[in-house]
Structure 1
Amino acid sequence: MNVVTVFINGIEYNLKGDEQEEYLHKVASYVDKKVKNILENNSKLSTSSAAILSALNVADDMLKVQESNEQLSKQAEELKKVAKVYEDQINSLKKQLKYTEELNEEFKEKLKKAGDSKELKEKNKNIEKLEEEIKIIKETTQKYIKENTKLIGENKELKFQVQSGKYKIIDLQHKLIENQINLAKEKKQKNPLLNKDIR
């Protein structure tokens, strides 16, 4: 447990937390800026009113980040579903390609044994047709592979954005707590019977 002394709007606070001291100072600095900004815009406000408005602003930021995070999570899930469809199509095309190539090999073997020129021409046509089908299947497979790779990249980006959103929410939650500490300190100043240290 770390204990640090910070100043918010000129008032000293003792903060305790499991986070690093640097982080606690960062949170306190953010809250200090929020409170001072509100007081600069309206100098008639009391410190407790400024603390409440700061808490509202931080809560608003946090809820917006949570909503954005939920939307990104939904998009990531949709991309997973689309990627699964593409994977299934790719696997199906690969099986079809393998089967077509096997047929082609069979025709080639039969051609070697064929002596009749008419039968030979017919089999050549079949081979050409099969080779054309193989070409189309390969092109389609490549197309799906590229689209699937693109979706995987987009999914990774969305996962990164979701993770970033989670960190922002945690940060905003800490800031909201600091605003509550500020309000508690203001109340303690008005009531000398309360303890001075903020826990």
Structure 2
Amino acid sequence: MNVVTVIINGIEYNLKGDEQEEYLHRISTYVDKKVKNILENNNKLSTSSAAILSAVNVADDMFKTKERNERLEQEIQKLKKIQTAYENKLKQTQEFNTKLEQRLKNYEENTHQEEDEDKIKKLQKEIEMTKNAAEDYVKENTKLKLENKESRFKIQTLKYKLIDLQNKLQENQINLAKERKRKNPLLKDKKK
């Protein structure tokens, strides 16, 4: 467990956590900026009021990130369904193409009569069209896979931000409790 001394709004705090020291400093800097920003906008607020408003702001950030994360998860599910549909179409097209090629091959092998060039050309056009369709499906499938990968990366990033915001909220609550204890001497007397 790491113990880090940080300064938030001019007051030293000891943070304990399993996270890296750099991470704990980054969180405390974020909270310090939130508190100072609120105090700058209203210098009549007490430190505890600024801490509460900071906690509300962090919670707002966290909920918005969570909602955005859920929307991205739904989008990924839709993309997966589309990708599956394209993969199925691609498989069907490839199977159809294989059958056409086999028919053409059988026709060429089994016929000893004069070749019917129109039928061969028609089959060749069909094969070409199915090959083009298969190539289009492959391109679309590749594009969907890239979009899916990007969405997964965004979701992972948002998950880390959500965890970060949850940690910040927890720290703000701890700091608020400490601040209340420090500001309210009655709490100290009751515990004695």
Mark yes or no: TM-score above 0.5: yes
Cα distance in 2 for partners of 1:47, 1:4 equals 22
Structure (1 or 2) with the larger CA radius of gyration: 1
Deviations 1:78-126 (A, max 9, x none): 0000000000011111111111001101111233x22xxxxx25x2221
The answer for the alignment partner of 1:37 in structure 2 is 37
Query: What displacement does 1:5 show?
Result: 1.2
The one of the two structures with greater contact order (alpha-carbon pairs below 8 A, sep at least 6) is: 1
Same amino acid, percent of matched pairs: 58
Q: In the alignment, which residue of structure 1 is the partner of 2:120? A: 127
Residue in 1 that maps onto 2:93 = 93
Once the two structures are TM-superposed, the CA of residue 181 in structure 1 deviates from its matched residue by 2.0
Aligned partner of residue 6 in structure 1, secondary structure:
strand
Q: Distance in 2 between matches of 1:77 and 1:144?
A: 19
Runs of 4+ aligned residues of structure 1 deviating over 4 Å after TM superposition are none
Name the counterpart of 1:59.
Answer: 59
SS where residue 108 of structure 2 aligns? Answer: helix
Structure 2 residue matching 1:106: 3-state secondary structure: helix
Which runs of 5 or more structure 2 residues have no equivalent in the other structure?
A: none
Please give the alpha-carbon distance, in whole angstroms, between the structure 1 residues aligned to 2:169 and 2:89. 49
Structure 1 stretch displaced more, 176-185 or 146-155: 176-185
CA drift of 1:49 comes to 0.3
Trace 1:107-122 onto structure 2 (pairs within 5 A).
107-111=107-111, 113-114=112-113, 120=114
Is contact 1:8-1:182 (8 Å) kept?
Answer: no
Gaps of 5+ in 1: 115-119, 195-199
1:166 aligned to 159, 162, 165, which one?
159
| Structural mapping, 1:177-196, within 5 Å | 177-192=170-185, 193=188
* Aligned residue pair count: 187
